[in-house]
Each structure stands twice: as structure tokens, then as C-alpha cells.
């Protein structure tokens, strides 16, 4: 108890939680570390690990999630992706706490930056996965969207998945060209085109497809350099009218535009920041520093709220 923030803040937090009816929970990687998933920016986080391993030859570990780098070297992301692919993780007390807020009818929305889908696994339905997820994947060339399971075997085999729709389209177009070429030859009454003619035609076909490769499929997780889904702005535009408390849990608030939620909601809305380490670039009204699971468990016990027990999770 002494390790939590000073008591007046804690009392304020309890009072706010007691009376609020439309709570936005803004969450980040810190709510999943107790599930065994590393965060990004801690000394033991993913970026430090990528830096230490040095095996991907990145100038900056954030390049792993940079869209320009991905287009240039997709093999780097696909040799690493299985490390972050959601597997048999069980939701933390924090995830279950958010679910409890929803069950109590006071959760306006959970804006999560996490791609581990543990909020959904905990049963939270009012969740917006601001940075997307592995649930779907899209072709960078023709934009066809496929279920995430389609590329799961590729992720596990550390191989690049190429787009089936592009491939079909390419094959169909090449087939038409071949037929047109045959027809042209026939109409000219030639039994065989000259070598020069043939080379010219073949090169033309290949060029149209940029060397003949179909598009690369990328999981629909938001990379640096990619815009967030429009749903983010739409939800925030709506929610800012209703929100009466912002609870921020387990995020360094370093990545915009999610970090800007703080400034996009009215200044009169109080903010509670629950995190292991303090933030210096923003000043939330109340900071409760410590392990997020312990803090939300403590808050619930003080409020007499019961958090749902860990459910048997079927994968
Ligand atoms: P960060 O790693 O930047 O921040 C996680 C925060 O959680 C840190 O400040 C930790 O101190 C804190 N933390 C860790 N374990 C905790 C615990 N048990 N209890 C309380 N706090 C704890 O992760 P995010 O802020 O989520 O985006 O990162 C935001 C985005 O940056 C990610 O979604 C990802 C990343 O680059 C993309 O990849 C697009």
C-alpha cells in the first residue's frame, strides 16, 4: 500500500472512480507484461531486445514496425513476426478490471494500443484496437483483405506471404495476352514469330507486373508511417462529448496520435495515470505509480468491486 502514490491522490482516484459513469481507459503494453509479453520501451522491452540481439541489422529498433522499411525488406519483419504473434496468453488482472468496468456499465471505451487481443479474450467488447491487430491482413498492392489465419502458417514458417488475388489477376492477364499474341500470329499467317518479336512481347508482359511478383501481404497492425483507421477519429469525436474520466494504464504515451487522446478530450475531464514509471512530457492529474495489476486490484478492493476471475481460456 505504501508503494502506491500518496494517499490524497489515491483518495481522489477512488472518489473519481466511484462517481464516474463514462470512463475511457487508454491502455498500452504495460497491461500485458504480467502475461509474459514484453513492452516496447522498458530496459527489458522489445526495442532493447532487438538492439541487444543485433541480428536484424536495424539502424533503429523501431524500423521493425516502419512501413518504408517493411516495403524494402519484408523478410526482416517476417523473420521476427512469430515472436509477437498472439499465442496462448491469458488476460491479466488489468484486462479483467476493464471488463469489470464494462460489466458495471461505466466503460465508455477502451482505446488499446496493444495488438495482443487480450482485451477481447477477457470479454471486453467496447474496445478499439488503435494499432490494429493480426486478425486481418492486407495486400500492399491490390489492398485485398484476408483473415489473419490465412497468413499464420507463413508467420510461423518465417516466410513472406504473397497475395493470391494479385497472383490470379496476373495469371489471368498474362493468359489474355498470350491468347492475343497467338491470335495476332495467326492473323499474320506466321507459323512462328521472330526471336526479336517474341522477346519484345515477353518483356512487356513482365514489366506490367513489376517483375511478375504479386503483392506482399502485411498483417493489419499499424506501422510507423501508416495512418490509423478512421474509426479512431470517429470514436474519439463521439466519446469526447460523453467522457467523464480518463484512466491511462501501462503506456509511456510516446506514440501519437493515441497519446494525443489526453489533449483531445475536454480539459475538465480528470485523468488518472497508472504506470510503473512516471511520464515527464505530460501532467496527468493523478499519477499512481507501481505495478498496474496491483494498483487496479487495490482500487477495486477499496471500492468493494469484484473483478471477474480468470476464465478458462480456449484457444
Ligand atoms: P511502451 O513500452 O512505450 O510503454 C509501456 C509502459 O508500461 C512503460 O512506461 C512501462 O514503465 C509500463 N509498464 C511496464 N510494465 C508495467 C506494469 N507491470 N505495470 C505498470 N506499468 C508497466 O509501450 P506503449 O506505450 O504501449 O506501436 O507503446 C506504444 C506503441 O509504441 C505501441 O503500440 C507500439 C510501439 O511502437 C507500434 O508498433 C505501432
pLDDT string in tens for the chain (315-residue length): 343 444 468 999 999 999 999 999 999 999 999 999 999 999 999 999 998 887 888 999 999 999 999 999 999 999 999 989 988 899 999 999 999 999 999 999 999 999 999 999 999 999 999 999 999 999 999 899 999 999 999 999 999 999 988 877 777 778 888 888 888 888 877 555 544 444 444 444 444 554 457 899 999 999 999 999 999 999 999 999 999 999 999 999 999 999 999 999 999 999 999 999 999 999 999 999 999 999 999 999 999 998 877 864 444
* Residue 130 annotated as binding site: no
- Centre of ligand 1 from the C-alpha of residue 298, in Å: 21
Mutation test residue for ligand 1: of 29, 116, 257, the one with most atoms within 8 Å of CB: 29
pLDDT given at position 191: 54
Between helix 93-103 and helix 292-303 the angle, nearest 10°, is 40
Residue nearest to atom 33 of ligand 1 (CA): 113
How far does the centroid of ligand 1 lie from the alpha carbon of residue 11, in Å?
A: 26
Catalytic residues: 131
CA–CA distance, 168 with 166 (Å, rounded to integer) = 5
Q: Ligand 1 centroid to 300 CA: how many Å?
A: 23
Return the number of other C-beta atoms located less than 10 Å from residue 175's C-beta: 10
- Minimum CA distance residue for ligand 1 atom 15: 30
* CB proximity list for 4: less than 8 A, separation 6 or greater: 10, 288, 289, 290, 295, 298
Which residues form the pocket of ligand 1, taking CB atoms under 6 Å from any ligand atom?
28-30, 33-34, 39-42, 45, 65, 113, 131, 222, 224, 250-252, 254-255, 275-277, 291-292
The span from the CA of 183 to the CA of 252, in Å, is 64
Per the annotation, does 139 bind a ligand? yes
**35 annotated binding-site participant:** no
- CA proximity to 35, closest of 303, 292, 252: 292
Decide: 32 and 121 in contact? Cβ < 8 Å. Answer: no
Are the C-beta atoms of residues 289 and 5 closer than 8 Å to each other? yes
**Rounded-to-integer distance, Cα 312 and Cα 90, Å:** 9
Q: Which is it for the CA torsion 92, 96, 99, 104, positive or negative?
A: negative
Please say whether the dihedral angle defined by the alpha carbons of residues 63, 280, 17 and 106, taken in this order, is positive or negative: negative
pLDDT at 212: 59
**What is the best residue among 28, 92, 131, 253 to mutate for testing ligand 1's pocket, by most ligand atoms within 8 Å of CB?**
28
pLDDT at 198 (0 to 100): 46
User: Model pTM?
Assistant: 0.86
Beta strands 132-139 and 217-221 are antiparallel
Asked whether 98 and 119 are in contact (CB, 8 A), the reply is yes
For the chain, how long is the longest CA-to-CA vector?
Answer: 94
- Going 261 to 263 to 269 to 275, the CA torsion angle's sign is positive
Amino acid at each position: 500500500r505504501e508503494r502506491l502514490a500518496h494517499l490524497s491522490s489515491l483518495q481522489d482516484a477512488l472518489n473519481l472512480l466511484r462517481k464516474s459513469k463514462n470512463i475511457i481507459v487508454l491502455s498500452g503494453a504495460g497491461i500485458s507484461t504480467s502475461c509474459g509479453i514484453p513492452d516496447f520501451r522498458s530496459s527489458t522491452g522489445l526495442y532493447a531486445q532487438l538492439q541487444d540481439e543485433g541480428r536484424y541489422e536495424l539502424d533503429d529498433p523501431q524500423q521493425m514496425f516502419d512501413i518504408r522499411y517493411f516495403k524494402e525488406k519484408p523478410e526482416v519483419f517476417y523473420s521476427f513476426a512469430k515472436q509477437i504473434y498472439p499465442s496462448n496468453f491469458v488476460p491479466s488482472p488489468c484486462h479483467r478490471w476493464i471488463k469489470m468496468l464494462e460489466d458495471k456499465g461505466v466503460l465508455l471505451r477502451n482505446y488499446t494500443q496493444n495488438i495482443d487481443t487480450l482485451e477481447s479474450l477477457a470479454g471486453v467488447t467496447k474496445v478499439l484496437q488503435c494499432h490494429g491487430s493480426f486478425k486481418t491482413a492486407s495486400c500492399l498492392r491490390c489492398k485485398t483483405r484476408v483473415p489473419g489465419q490465412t497468413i499464420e502458417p507463413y508467420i510461423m514458417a518465417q516466410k513472406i506471404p504473397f497475395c493470391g488475388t494479385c497472383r490470379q489477376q496476373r495469371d489471368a492477364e498474362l493468359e489474355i495476352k498470350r491468347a492475343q499474341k497467338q491470335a495476332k500470329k495467326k492473323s499474320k499467317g506466321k507459323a512462328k514469330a521472330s526471336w526479336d518479336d517474341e522477346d519484345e512481347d515477353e518483356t512487356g508482359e513482365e514489366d506490367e507486373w513489376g517483375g511478375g511478383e504479386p503483392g506482399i501481404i502485411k498483417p493489419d497492425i499499424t506501422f510507423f508511417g501508416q495512418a490509423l483507421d478512421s474509426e479512431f477519429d470517429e470514436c474519439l469525436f463521439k466519446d469526447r462529448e460523453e467522457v467523464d474520466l480518463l484512466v491511462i494504464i501501462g503506456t509511456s504515451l510516446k506514440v501519437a496520435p493515441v497519446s494525443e487522446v489526453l489533449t483531445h478530450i475536454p480539459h475538465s475531464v480528470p485523468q488518472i495515470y497508472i504506470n510503473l514509471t512516471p511520464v515527464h512530457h505530460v501532467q496527468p492529474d493523478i499519477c499512481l505509480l507501481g505495478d498496474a495489476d496491483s494498483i487496479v486490484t487495490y482500487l477495486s478492493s477499496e471500492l468493494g468491486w469484484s473483478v471477474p476471475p480468470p476464465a478458462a481460456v480456449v484457444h
